[in-house]
Amino acid sequence: MGITITRKGYHQLIDSTGAIVSQHTDVDEAIEKASEKAGTYTLLPAQKEIKVILFEPDPKPEPEPDPEPIGSIAYLTSYQTPTLTDTHSGKTAKLNYGKHTKMAYCPLTGDIYLCGGDGQGQHWGGNDSGALDTVGRYNVQSHTYESDFLYQGALGECTPRGLDFIGFTWVPSFNEFWLGPGWGWDYTSAKYPWLDYTWSIKKNYASYNPITKKFTDRGPRQGRAYTEGFAGSWDSKRGRIVWVENDTFHSLDPATGQIQSGGWVGLPSSHRTETADTHYDANTDELIFAQIATGRVYAYQIESKKLRLVASVGCSSDSAASYAVVFPPGHCLIVYSREDSRPNPWRLVNLVTGEVMAMDLYPEGCTSFNTGCYHPPTGQIVFTGGSNDETSTGLNMKNGDSYHHYQWVLWGDK
């Protein structure tokens, strides 16, 4: 703030008759003039103009926006899968995960659950056994595995069989995993002679309770939820499972089992959409998914029904069903095989900026991972699977005979 005082006009010396005797710029000068002649005088001071000026403070520079958090990942170690004895057949086998195995985090128990997939020795049938019908539970901190649901089931129990490439989505409204959408083979009595065949994964929905360790029949299965390669994410805004089937958006209400088609997505490529692992972002109301065959990551804004390309990762593959896709905070991690992309088959996508980082973090001897899961309590990502992927050197059992641990760090996160 600034103040200026300015005199306007003159000081006036006035005699007793009211006449102006003289005008002065200085008061002392007026007094001296009055002293020249006896009499009574009045001094009228000059008017003063006071100006007050408010100075605006220098504007503060706009703060630089915080940089988007940058994720990084580092290999920790690998823990061998256990060797187990089947109580039904008496066979002993070491768990070895193949393609299509699904991993999912359970917020109730804090563990990672495994279900579905083609593999070797997964339920005692050897390399032709087909699928992991047992639901396994893996504790990340103690790196221990337990078979929570045994594949042979019990008489009259809802027992999925021949599970393959199928969703295992956590549904908060049930506090259970939803089995589907996706694919199951329904192996016959030649494989499962002890089961009650009145229940079929091809005809019914099912959910799995990690506390009771049992499946629940969820009613007749609708169309548009039974094609290999499907899996969904939980839309927390609307309370439903959402996924993309080729070029169409779908949603499923677990309470009713009804499917609604949300319209054409508008993918520019006709390649099959890989949705084994997707992510719903509640902040943007987007379903984020990868089309592995073309190397593109997309985000579908559900309310506006608009599709945007997040990034092209610079990789492609004709084996769209066989690679791990994981969503650590703010990112999408696609793990291509070394056969498809050398020298850096891993692609880490920042979902905000679209930046892509290429790397190779396979442990020594590994060439492919088919499934992975982010574990929020530890910030670790666990991978496995890929043992029955054909490579130039044949099958690589090392991919799926261990739980491979990685540490995720989000730099710049508040």
Between 8 and 357, residue with greater pLDDT? 357
C-alpha dihedral sign at 397, 131, 168, 304? positive
**pLDDT tens across 230-252, in order?**
678 999 999 999 988 777 888 98
Residue 304 pLDDT: 92
**pLDDT tens across 36-57, in order?**
777 787 777 777 666 666 656 6
Given a cut of 80, is residue 377 above it in pLDDT?
yes
Q: How do the domains of the chain map onto residue ranges?
A: 2-53, 70-411
> What are the backbone dihedrals phi and psi of residue 152, each rounded to the nearest 5 degrees, phi first?
-75, -20
Q: Which range (25-29, 109-113, 290-294, 367-371) has the least confidence?
A: 25-29
Which percentage of the chain shows pLDDT scores above 90? 34
Residue that the structure tokens 């100006």 belong to: 51
The Cα 321–Cα 272 span in angstroms is 9
* Mean pLDDT confidence for 338-356: 89
Given a cut of 80, is residue 269 above it in pLDDT?
no
Judge whether 93 and 83 are in contact, CB under 8 Å. yes
Residue 120 pLDDT: 47
Q: How confident is the model at residue 351 (pLDDT cuts 50, 70, 90)?
A: very high
Given a cut of 80, is residue 338 above it in pLDDT?
yes
Residues near 16 by beta carbon (within 8 Å), at least 6 away in sequence? 39, 40, 41
Judge whether 299 and 308 are in contact, CB under 8 Å. yes
Judge whether 139 and 375 are in contact, CB under 8 Å. no
Residue 173 pLDDT: 93
Residue that the structure tokens 């929020």 belong to: 376
Q: Which range (146-155, 181-190, 309-318) has the least confidence?
A: 181-190
Residue 273 pLDDT: 67
The Cα 290–Cα 301 span in angstroms is 15
Residue 292 pLDDT: 86
Q: How confident is the model at residue 18 (pLDDT cuts 50, 70, 90)?
A: confident
- Highest mean pLDDT of the ranges 64-68, 79-83, 146-150, 162-166: 79-83
Q: What is the 3-state secondary structure (H, E, C) of 278-324?
A: EEEECCCCEEEEEECCCCEEEEEECCCCEEEEEEECCCCCCCCCCCE
Q: How confident is the model at residue 20 (pLDDT cuts 50, 70, 90)?
A: confident
DSSP track, 123-192: SSSGGG-----SEEEEETTTTEEEEEE-TT--TT-----SEEEEEEEEETTTTEEEEEEEEE----TTT-
* Mean pLDDT confidence for 130-148: 84
**pLDDT tens across 99-127, in order?**
778 899 999 999 999 987 765 445 554 44
Mean pLDDT, rounded, of the chain = 81
Residue 192 pLDDT: 65
Decide if domain 70-411 falls under CATH 2.120.10.80.
Answer: yes
Q: Which range (134-138, 151-155, 219-223, 354-358) has the least confidence?
A: 151-155
Helix (H, G, I), strand (E, B) or coil at 31: helix
